[in-house]
A and B are shown apart, each in its own frame.
Chain A
Amino acid sequence: MTPTSELELSDMIKAVNGPLRIVGGGTRPIGHVMGEVLSTAALSGITLHEPGALTLVARAGTPVVDIEATLATQNQRLAFEPMDHRALMGTSGQPTIGGVVAANISGPRRISVGACRDFLLGVRFVDGAGNIVKNGGRVMKNVTGYDLVKLMAGAYGTLGVLTEVSFKVLPAVEAETTLTLSGLDDTTAIQAMSAGLGSPFEVTGVAHDPAQSLTHFRLEGFAASVAYRADALSKLLAPFGIMQDTAGDWSAIRDVTAFAGKTGDVWRISVKPSEAAALAAKIGADAVQYDWGGGLIWALCPVGTDVRTAMIGTAGHATLIRGTGQTFHPEPAPLADISTGLRARFDPRGILNTGIMG
């Protein structure tokens, strides 16, 4: 099914009996869903870009690349730096903005500016009963009614099929510099990253690659300001070693390309940075890399590794991005009840991406 309008989508959902598998660009096969394919490909196009208001509105099936190109003409960007999963997942196709929202996909800059859900201003969607619902809008400050916008971000389509999304966008930057420390073990690297993030120098990306023992710090902004902060950060972090100016391949960090094509399960683990190194050491991973100053661990593990048992006693959660086990971290009973209750309300027949979240 490839609806060409919101109304058509609503009619299709009302008419269908069996489960639906909602697909944007099909580049992020996270979770395991059966059902007739419902494609958002024909719900495409940017409906509004108002550079002076830092606002962009697009239909859900719009390719991310189109949005980035449109924003670039006005020297703007999606600041949350959505990850491209194609290399890691071995997929092709064009990632769509609806897919980014449905999975709440962010990148390294999430640590400083926020996640996809923090930039999402409004949504339109069709719920599992075929109702057309809007929430939020196109303005940055809006507390009118419940924030279903956040609820829809990261709901993996289980509460409704997104048809239109609106975003706060930010100016692109004049300059970017990456400073790199080398030779640090994981624990020390995380201490260095925390020191950088705890400084006033506005670090916008902080990642550590244990395989090469490299710890990267990204600074962005006006050129003179970046130069000043680079100098200040180097002085602050001098106890951890000499910082080298490097090219800084942040799209490789964002897309976890180091694990592309390698056999094994890929886990995405969100924890407190200060507990990350100890956890990473005990999950039985073949390789790990740290983003968000240590708050995000990407782990490549032998197929079938039980990462979650190793996490008992550590606050956080693990998502199986690539592999055949349970995708999402099981929730404690009262929260699972709430989530089940919400899904039952928004999708009473249980037909939208059934089973993906539990």
Chain B
Amino acid sequence: MQMPIPDASVIEHKDQIVARLLAVLPRDAVIADVVETRAYECDGLTAYRCPPMCAVLPSNTDEVASVLKICHELGVPVVPRGSGTSLAGGALPTADCVILGVAKMNGVIETNYDDRYIRVQTGRTNLSVTGAVEANGFFYAPDPSSQLACAIAGNIAMNSGGAHCLKYGVTTNNLLGVTMVMMDGTVVDIGGAYMDAGGLDLLGVICGSEGQLGVVTEATLRILPKPEGARPVLIGYDSSEVAGQVVTDIIKAGVLPVAIEFMDRPCIEATENFAHAGYPMCEALLIVEVEGSDAEIDAQLALIMKIAAKHNPVELREAKDADEAGRIWLGRKSAFGAMGQINDYMCLDGTIPVSELPYVLRRISEMSKEFGLDVGNVFHAGDGNMHPLILFDANKEGDLELCEEFGAEILKLCVEVGGCLTGEHGVGIEKRDLMHVQFSATDLEAQMAVKDVFDPKWLLNAAKVFPLDASEPRRVA
């Protein structure tokens, strides 16, 4: 993985830059010691590490503005960081950068149940947004797997999804407004506690821009009333084709489950050995969850079970209560941990049209043999978002590179069948050099033109998203 050559003239002036930052921030909010900056050397994509020149932890929007103003004036690159859980390297530093962490900004600014929104500082974790409103019967819908740790700032930057977005959408569908600091220190308010902000949909393009357009410090989020209840059903099949057909049949029947999760045999085996959830050993396992009152859940599950039964399942298990529901989810929720017990793994997240599922799974299994690396598939089947987990040994020479090559082939396949490189993790550095596969030079040019407007000097997280050769003329200008 190539990164731009750090700007030596910036690093040379580290002391002066740190002094300027200390003038606008409390002493403990500036981390410049070479040992301490190592804490920020990577995010969830741990294969790549690089300590930043320094890190700052501002406490409010004004401090963020002061920091960015200084960095803008001095031409210092800035990499924003939420909780550092990105799996795509979105918060990976460069050696000449200031890491701008929002962790200290974690307060709730306002909750309004009549108008159904919450306004938070963006360092707040995803789960604690729900935590702030659940006593009143509300929740915040996007639920990425890392929700215990990940920050709203990162969710907005990556337009994070989760298991329940088939019904509730992803971050962009639940974001009403932001306060954002632009690279030159200008503070802008976009949208608010009302629907469909006027003018161009700037909120829409900021969400998912991977921290390249500005640093979002506050966000107004839509909150929803909690459903009366939710229960899953577990269905096992001896073929992934059949399981894929069942998913389409359920969707066509007019049921809209909140989640349809898919696991293949390698993943089932790994999780069984790890979590002992009592899953059947079969080729494909579906977990389908529906919501509503008890009677509504019964009715929807009956319909789903009827569809499932038509396709000769090897297992059909309905959760009758919370305990059984928990057991059904147990394996799925420990799938990543289980795979991690076996070996190091790389988690991909390409999306495919649901109809291509059987073909893609077959191709992945063929490629697995060609590359000699095992792969397990976990999958948000309702929306086609795949999570192939490729197992490799980080201590074995060349294994990471082989794994990356295999991963790239899978992602190319996703694009080839009409899908995309990343469904919810983001491009970061991980998929940056594959962007050419999905986009023409003109397509990328149109996207980079947006960054030109928000960050003309290309100082914010500039080594991400766009292939380095494509962004170079702008970065070095």
Contact = CB atoms under 8 A, between A and B. Distances in A.
Interface stretch (B15-23, B55-63, B169-177): B169-177
B38 to A, nearest CB: 29
A287 interface: no
Contacts of B423: 139, 141-143
Contact of B353 (A139, A292, A315, A331): A139
Given A200-B226, A200-B227, A315-B193, A225 B296 contact: yes
Given A54-B251, A200-B227, A131 B445 contact: yes
B101 to A, nearest CB: 22
B348 interface: no
Interface string B219-241: 00000011110000000000000
A70 interface: no
Given A74-B252, A142-B420, A52 B354 contact: yes
A86 interface: no
A145 B435 contact: yes
A244 to B, nearest CB: 23
A295 interface: yes
A73 to B, nearest CB: 12
Which one of A75, A149, A194, A334 has the highest number of Cβ atoms from chain B below 10 Å of its Cβ? A334
Nearest to B226: A200
B233 to A, nearest CB: 17
A225 B445 CA distance: 49
B201 A154 contact: yes
Contact of B295 (A173, A228, A329): A228
A319 B198 contact: yes
Contacts of A146: 205, 208-209, 447, 450-451, 465
Interface string B368-384: 00000000000010011
B196 interface: yes
A53 B300 contact: no
Contacts of B115: 194, 272-274, 295
Interface string B318-359: 000000000000000000000000000000000111110000
A196 to B, nearest CB: 10
A88 B189 CA distance: 33
A144 B427 contact: yes
Interface in A310-358: 315-319, 328-329, 331-332, 334-335, 338-339, 341-342, 345-346, 357-358
B248 interface: yes
Contact of A53 (B182, B190, B355): B355
Nearest to B245: A52
A315 B194 contact: yes
A283 to B, nearest CB: 16
Given A198-B114, A222-B300, A335-B202, A50 B353 contact: yes
B439 A145 contact: yes
A338 B254 contact: no
Interface stretch (B158-166, B261-269, B396-404): B158-166
Nearest to B209: A146
Contact of B446 (A55, A133, A140): A133
Contacts of B251: 51-54, 171
A335 B442 contact: no
A137 interface: yes
A225 B299 contact: yes
A357 B201 CA distance: 12
Contacts of A254: none
Contacts of B112: 272, 274
Given A143-B425, A145-B435, A147-B172, A137 B418 contact: yes
Interface stretch (A21-29, A91-99, A109-117): A109-117
Contacts of B355: 50, 52-53
Interface residues of A, number: 86
B274 interface: no
B442 A131 contact: yes
Contacts of A295: 115, 194-195
A114 B169 contact: yes
A115 B419 contact: no
Interface string A249-285: 0000000000000000000001111100000000000
Which of A74, A146, A272, A296 counts the most chain B CB atoms within 10 A? A146
Interface string A157-181: 0110000000000111110000000
A147 B295 contact: no
Given A52-B354, A171-B251, A144 B194 contact: no
B313 interface: no
Contacts of B197: 270, 317
B444 interface: yes
* Residue among A159, A335, A339 with most chain B CB within 10 A: A335
Interface string B415-452: 00011111111110001000100111011111101111
Contact of B384 (A134, A141, A143, A159): A141
A139 B200 contact: no
B473 interface: no
Given A55-B353, A144-B438, A270-B195, A137 B420 contact: yes
A191 B256 CA distance: 29
Contacts of A208: none
A5 interface: no
A117 B196 CA distance: 9
Contacts of A305: none
Contacts of A332: 188-189
B453 interface: yes
Given A139-B418, A170-B256, A334-B188, A346 B170 contact: no
Interface of A: 50-55, 74-75, 104, 106, 110-111, 114-115, 117-118, 127, 131-135, 137-151, 153-155, 158-159, 170-174, 191, 194, 197-200, 222, 224-225, 228-229, 232, 270-274, 292, 295-296, 315-319, 328-329, 331-332, 334-335, 338-339, 341-342, 345-346, 357-358
19 contacts: A51-B248, A53-B248, A54-B251, A115-B196, A139-B420, A140-B384, A141-B161, A141-B384, A142-B422, A143-B159, A143-B422, A144-B431, A151-B205, A170-B256, A171-B254, A198-B137, A272-B115, A274-B114, A295-B115
Given A133-B443, A146-B465, A149-B204, 16 more contacts: A50-B354, A104-B201, A115-B195, A133-B442, A137-B419, A139-B351, A139-B353, A139-B418, A142-B420, A172-B254, A222-B299, A222-B300, A316-B194, A338-B188, A342-B453, A346-B446
